[in-house]
Amino acid sequence: MSQRAAPLDAVVVGAGFAGLYMLYRLRELGLTTRVIERGSDVGGTWFWNRYPGARCDVESIDYQYSFSPELLAEWIWTERYATQPEILRYLNHVADRFDLRRDIAFSTEVTGARYDDDANLWTLTTDTGERVTARYCIMGVGNLSSVKRPDIPGLDEFRGRWFHTAEWPHGGVDFTGQRVAFVGTGSTGIQALPQIAREAELLYVFQRTANYSMPAVNRPLDPAELREVVAAYAERRRASEQSDPGVPGEPPTRSAFDVTDEERRRIYEDGWAVGGIGSLSGQFNDVFTSPEANFTAQEFARNKIRAIVRDPAVAELLCPQHFIGMRRTCVDIDYYETYNRDNVQLVDARRTPITAITPTAIVTADAEYEVDVIVFAIGFDAMTGALLDIDVRGAGGRSLRDKWAHGPRTFLGLAVDGFPNLFAITGPGSPGVLSNMALSIEQHVDWIADCLVYLRANGLDRIEATPEAEDAWVRHVNELADETLYTVSNSWYIGSNIEGKPRVFMPYVGGCGRYRGDCDAVAAARYEGFTLTSVPGAAS
């Protein structure tokens, strides 16, 4: 990447689902754009998370772009839940088909972003020492991309190999004949463990918190079936856009207590047979708000675990005790069945925490486990981590880290008061991680693109959220969340997986449809809640 004399119209950070589509839209508008990506190629999440068993848990036919009918028609998904290699191939295909790579600087990490009040420009600094200056700075850095590092004493002295699932080696890892320690049983662990168990000689699973996992009921997709779906795709997508989670389907209308115990069990049984994230939590309209309704779904899940896992003590340890749906619900293929294998041992890392690592073993409060390989599936500094990894300075040199010291504050999850011309794609305060993110990303990118068109058409070049609009939005997000069980549950949604992180519930829980309505209303009211100006004398 060379330093350019003239400022660009826009700089985008990240080349995942968000950055790629943003680049496509900006280019379509004739705006000069540069994308900066830390990885050596496109794909974001799907570039980094190459661990065995990695897949989407929103169905492939919904977890894709909808902006190009040609792209939709030509890409043939092969499974209900696509594997990581297939999703990565898809994103590479998108990059090739729309010739996106020529505007992306790879293997370059943005370390700082500073707004210059006089020039009305953002300057980004990178780890390669180069600087990029642009009018608009668009963050497509991802909600789950700032990797949480293991900090167990002794790891540096470990003589075997160790890996983080979110930075998996491109050539894969051969576990044959190896004694493996696996730390973490969230979405990633639940996907990876069944695969690794098939190869490893011995697999110790260190579980701090048992999580709910629903059966994927994965299956190959018939190309003819897929063609039918694509033929009616616009309708499917419109329905998804108006839904809460961003996928098609009618919302539940009944309470868990509108039916008899037997009927409720049958409904859960049917949901379990269909599979997917909402197998249980999507059956009744009060599972997210009523502890008693939630308990019925929990009990059903726990009984399923007890029925699958043969050793009753192991089954009990695998039974989650928190509200279902309030931490990320997992989707698996043969997860619980894995614990029936002779080479798999579950370790209760809540009762006997990991205290140290020696050159050859993991040490807990009451035992030592000799291993050759350690795998950490311990997740991310979610939602704010990647944004705050960058030293972002807004108007008057104000730091985003300072502004968000007590938790993120945004207007619509898209913009921040004090940070003009800065946009976050699926930022905190938007439905992002609670939704089908492919759909939410498209919505944000389209909203930002339309906003830039509006500014240009009206001779404006500076947009900034007002403090009042931001306050009102933060209040609204909190009020909605307070009506649910989310705010009384520990999860990465609330920052509780990271020591010292402020406990603030970050996503917008009102659903994709309602949220889209709010964003559209702001745009229709000439960007009400923003101050729009033109900066005299600023370089154009």
Which stretches of the chain bind ligand FAD, using CB under 6 A?
Answer: 13-19, 36-39, 44-45, 47, 49, 54, 56-58, 63, 109-110, 140-145, 188, 386, 389-390, 425-426, 436-437, 441
- Nearest C-alpha neighbor of 45 from the set 138, 170, 145: 145
- Nearest C-alpha neighbor of 42 from the set 63, 19, 58, 60: 19
The smaller minimum CB distance to ligand FAD, of residues 179 and 444, is found at 444
The smaller minimum CB distance to ligand FAD, of residues 369 and 423, is found at 423
CB of 131 to ligand FAD, least distance (A): 13
Q: What is the CA radius of gyration of the chain?
A: 24
CB of 154 to ligand FAD, least distance (A): 27
Count the Cβ atoms, other than its own, within 10 Å of residue 198: 15
CB of 291 to ligand FAD, least distance (A): 27
How many helices (H) and strands (E) the chain has is answered by: 16, 20
Using CB atoms within 10 Å of the CB of residue 131, give its burial: 0 to 12 exposed, 13 to 18 middle, 19+ buried.
middle
CB of 375 to ligand FAD, least distance (A): 14
- Nearest C-alpha neighbor of 65 from the set 428, 443, 513, 435: 443
65 touches 442 (CB < 8 A): yes
User: Where do we find the tokens 């745009």?
Assistant: 523
Q: Dmax over Cα atoms in the chain, in whole Å?
A: 74
Cα separation, 96 vs 92, whole angstroms: 6
CB of 475 to ligand FAD, least distance (A): 26
Question: Residue 497 carries which side chain, given as an amino acid letter?
Answer: N
Residues 6+ apart with CB under 8 A from 6: 539
Cα separation, 99 vs 494, whole angstroms: 38
394 touches 420 (CB < 8 A): yes
348 touches 318 (CB < 8 A): no
The smaller minimum CB distance to ligand FAD, of residues 20 and 319, is found at 20
The smaller minimum CB distance to ligand FAD, of residues 105 and 226, is found at 105
The smaller minimum CB distance to ligand FAD, of residues 23 and 361, is found at 23
CB of 194 to ligand FAD, least distance (A): 15
The smaller minimum CB distance to ligand FAD, of residues 182 and 527, is found at 182
- Beta strands 373-376 and 161-164: pairing type? parallel
The smaller minimum CB distance to ligand FAD, of residues 104 and 256, is found at 104
The smaller minimum CB distance to ligand FAD, of residues 189 and 529, is found at 189
CB of 359 to ligand FAD, least distance (A): 30
CB of 82 to ligand FAD, least distance (A): 9
